[in-house]
Amino acid sequence: RKEVEQDPGPFNVPEGATVAFNCTYSNSASQSFFWYRQDCRKEPKLLMSVYSSGNEDGRFTAQLNRASQYISLLIRDSKLSDSATYLCVVNGNAGGTSYGKLTFGQGTILTVHP
């Protein structure tokens, strides 16, 4: 099983749609979770951190399910500008030698069309 796994998509949705991505991770001791957005041929940029209780930032909601070992990202009222690749990131064992290791999923491609 891969350390971090995402559905690569692509997801093609109309403007205004709600879309959700999941990201599963294999290390039950992981403590840090993030969602990044990457535009074509650019560096990834932080979209949001994922907190244990879940968190929201405008149209974006991130959730963590420790029991099933996945994080999710929900985008409401999709805009054309949301078209990008969305990457999840998970760290290694808290307190272990791999604590600083941050592993990316392969990314989910989202295209929002008019």
Contact footprint for other proteins (CB under 8 A): 6, 31-32, 34, 36, 41-46, 49, 51, 87, 89, 91, 94, 97-98, 100-107
Omega before 10 cis (within 30°)? yes
State the nearest-atom distance from the C-beta of 79 to other proteins, in Å. 23
State the nearest-atom distance from the C-beta of 54 to other proteins, in Å. 14
Give the tokens for residue 70: 């996945």
21 or 107, CB closer to other proteins?
Answer: 107
| CA–CA gap between residue 62 and residue 102 (Å, rounded) | 18
